[in-house]
Structure 1
Amino acid sequence: MKLSKLSIVVPCYNEESNIEELFNELKKVIESLTCVCEVIFVDDGSKDNTYKEIEKKSHKYDYVHGVSLSRNFGHQIALLAGLEKASGDVIITLDGDLQHPPQVIPELIEKYNKGFDIVNTRRIDDESTSFLKKKTSTLFYILINKLSDIKVEPFGADFRLMSRETVDAFLSIKEQDRFTRGLVSWIGYNQGVVEYKASPRFSGKSSYTVKKMFQLAINGITSMSSKPLRISLYLGLMFFITGLIYAVFIIYNYFAGINVEGWTSILITILILGGIQLLISSIIGEYVSRIFNETKSRPLYLVKKQTSKKIT
């Protein structure tokens, strides 16, 4: 498969201090390639001067294009916006904090040249990665692969190469709540993997807080599977059967004249059943909220402005 044009999509949020270094690394890679290249920076409603830095690069280099979203729509939507703007026959996405090393791009292209339609990456954490982050990441992939109907690459990232055909297939999916890694796995095609060593952030602080990672996990599980609802059904049946057995036990003791003091057991039973009911209601609520979001049919993002140079 001959590569004639490469699009590099970089979603950014408050990456003002990283743009210069990231672009310098990308520029080295681009200059080593023989194909036409374009770099699309998507500013996801940054509160700093990220877009101004992007504009500077756009004015200096014809192959740089900047898109500024009207507010912070989230990393997954910023990725989507960049993919919709990309015109290459091969598209590579990577984050703007230099934790996705541009030096790996030639390896992704080499894998593509061997016949892979999608080349995912698998992160190898360095010593600076915290124990908590490693364990929570491991737990996330265990959960999503157990609960999901498709396999998500463990320790994967939104650092990948996709052919034009697979990007078009991905863009044909019109879901509101998007989990990119799951959707990329869902569309199928011939997928390969390249490992890379994650680097510390070049500058700034990660916007992926524990809360956001938890939300991503919930979104990933609920968007790719209905198994949590099935588990809720099984839990309900289990406690219903347990309750019937306990009721038979109480009735038997009553007629047998056995007086059983049960304040503690009653209290524990009420607490457990109440907790289970709240848990099941919350799971159902997550799916109902997803249905609600889909029925609104709002645009996934709005573009506030973009650089004047159009890439063809």
Structure 2
Amino acid sequence: MQPKSATEIYVNRRQATRPQSPLLSLVVPVFNEEDVITHFLEATRPVLNQTGLAYEYVFIDDGSRDRTAEILSQELAGGLPGRLLGLSRNFGKEAALSAGLEAAKGDIAVIIDADLQDPPELILQMLDGWRAGYDVVYGLRVDRSSDTLMKRSTAGMFYRLFNRLANIDMPANAGDFRLIDRVVIDALMKLPERNRFMKGLFAWVGFQTMAIPYERPPRKAGAGKFNYWKLWNFALDGLTGFTTLPLRVWFYGGALVSVGAFAYALYLTLRVLIGGIDVPGYASLMVALLFFSGVQLLSIGMIGEYIARLFNEAKQRPVYVLQDVIEGAPANVDAANGQADEQADVR
């Protein structure tokens, strides 16, 4: 019999300590989702009822300008368990996720988008993984045919570049759709940074993880909120937030260019001493001048990216500002416990 690995020992130990009737928080950031939010509720309610657990919705309205907040307020007033956090403006999805996780009361939280590109049915499999002892169970997109070729290509390049440069291992094609244990939530809430790249933070805090592959369908309704400019800035935040290698690249690049320039200057000196005075050409002089000017501007720009992030951190502004909180019905813990007992009797 082979000895168990450290991972197996940890997972078995965590499995033994799982609560029998945990509270499940469904964390849902929304931004102008009036076309799809009703479909989302219709799709998630049956799945959450199948879990046999007490649950709550935690919606984060990230400055919507349509009827999203109105629709959710009506649902909460009609008995939907959970709450709606209204941010004072659009702070971005990363800030909205931070607000939702901070407000979640559950022993476990499932992060999911409202566009139904992440199948709610996978929540049941995620719960099985959690009960087996894993702290993080994430959805792994094996088919992104619903995305454009450009988006698939750039996403693949970003994941490869990030994992090569950063000192953490972020699973490729793993989005925000995941189940996380309370111990992971508490660890994430201890991270004070303002420029938050949640996919990287999920990987940075560690813990034992499990992947569930799935095919990502197209949006149920509405339109996506990310454009290529936002995705570029998102990728830049991720890289600069988890690695200083770009700064080192310019350091070594500058050293290499300096050595080359010194060698070339020595060559010119020797050529003049041996062969006589030589007048250099204008074209070669301009090419060298423009090239090195470009290198200097790129290096200064890279340094500026890091300085800008230091500037934002030094101001210590909050990640988000809450405008209001609309409470719905409380999670029906007793009813969920009764349903779980009935299912256990049947088994």
Short-chain TM bin: over 0.9
- 1:180 counterpart = 2:201: no
- 1:127 counterpart = 2:136: no
Go from structure 1 to structure 2 and tell me whether the alpha carbon gap of 1:253 and 1:193 turns closer, same or farther (over 3 Å shift): same
Deviation at 1:264, TM superposition (A): 2.4
CA contact (8 A) 1:70 1:302 kept: yes
Q: Matched residue of 2:121: which SS?
A: helix
Q: Matched residue of 2:223: which SS?
A: coil
Letter in 2 for 1:289: A
Q: 2:185 matched to which residue of 1? A: 167
Deviation at 1:225, TM superposition (A): 1.0
Greater RCO (CA < 8 Å, at least 6 residues apart)? 2
Deviates more, 1:186-195 or 1:6-15: 186-195
- 1:288 counterpart = 2:307: yes
CA contact (8 A) 1:3 1:90 kept: no
CA distance in 2, matches of 1:172, 1:310: 29
CA contact (8 A) 1:69 1:305 kept: yes
- 1:225 counterpart = 2:238: no
Deviation at 1:126, TM superposition (A): 4.2
Letter in 2 for 1:296: K
Q: Matched residue of 1:39: which SS?
A: strand
CA distance in 2, matches of 1:232, 1:310: 56
Give the gaps of 5 or more residues in structure 1: none
List per-residue Cα deviations over 1:44-85 (Å, max 9, x = no partner).
001111111111111122413211100000000000000011
Q: 1:20 matched to which residue of 2? A: 38
Letter in 1 for 2:242: M
Q: 2:294 matched to which residue of 1? A: 275
Q: Matched residue of 2:175: which SS?
A: coil
Go from structure 1 to structure 2 and tell me whether the alpha carbon gap of 1:308 and 1:116 turns closer, same or farther (over 3 Å shift): closer
Letter in 2 for 1:35: L
**What does 1:55-204 correspond to in 2, within 5 Å?**
55-204=73-222
**Equivalent residues, number:** 312
Q: 2:27 matched to which residue of 1? A: 9
Letter in 2 for 1:297: Q
CA distance in 2, matches of 1:288, 1:71: 26
Query: Which of residues 280, 283, 296 in structure 2 aligns to 1:264?
Result: 283
CA distance in 1, matches of 2:269, 2:281: 13
List per-residue Cα deviations over 1:262-290 (Å, max 9, x = no partner).
32222222222111111111111111111
Q: Percent identity?
A: 34
TM-score, with length taken from structure 1? 0.96
Deviation at 1:147, TM superposition (A): 1.2
Q: 1:234 matched to which residue of 2? A: 252
Q: Matched residue of 2:303: which SS?
A: helix
Q: Matched residue of 2:174: which SS?
A: coil
Q: Matched residue of 1:259: which SS?
A: coil
Query: Which of residues 36, 58, 73 in structure 2 aligns to 1:40?
Result: 58
Runs in 1 of length 4+ with deviation above 2 angstroms? 124-129, 258-265, 308-312
CA contact (8 A) 2:146 2:216 kept: no
Which is greater in Rg? 2
Deviates more, 1:188-197 or 1:56-65: 56-65
- 1:298 counterpart = 2:317: yes
CA contact (8 A) 1:57 1:64 kept: no
CA distance in 2, matches of 1:281, 1:181: 28
Deviates more, 1:159-168 or 1:301-310: 301-310
Deviation at 1:122, TM superposition (A): 1.3
Letter in 2 for 1:159: F
CA distance in 2, matches of 1:307, 1:163: 25
Letter in 1 for 2:121: Q
CA distance in 2, matches of 1:217, 1:200: 23
Query: Which of residues 301, 311, 326 in structure 2 aligns to 1:307?
Result: 326
Letter in 2 for 1:183: L
TM-score, with length taken from structure 2? 0.87
Give the gaps of 5 or more residues in structure 2: 1-17, 332-347
CA contact (8 A) 2:76 2:329 kept: no
List per-residue Cα deviations over 1:214-246 (Å, max 9, x = no partner).
011100001011111111111111111111111
CA distance in 2, matches of 1:150, 1:71: 32
Deviation at 1:311, TM superposition (A): 4.4
Deviation at 1:107, TM superposition (A): 1.1
Deviation at 1:169, TM superposition (A): 0.5
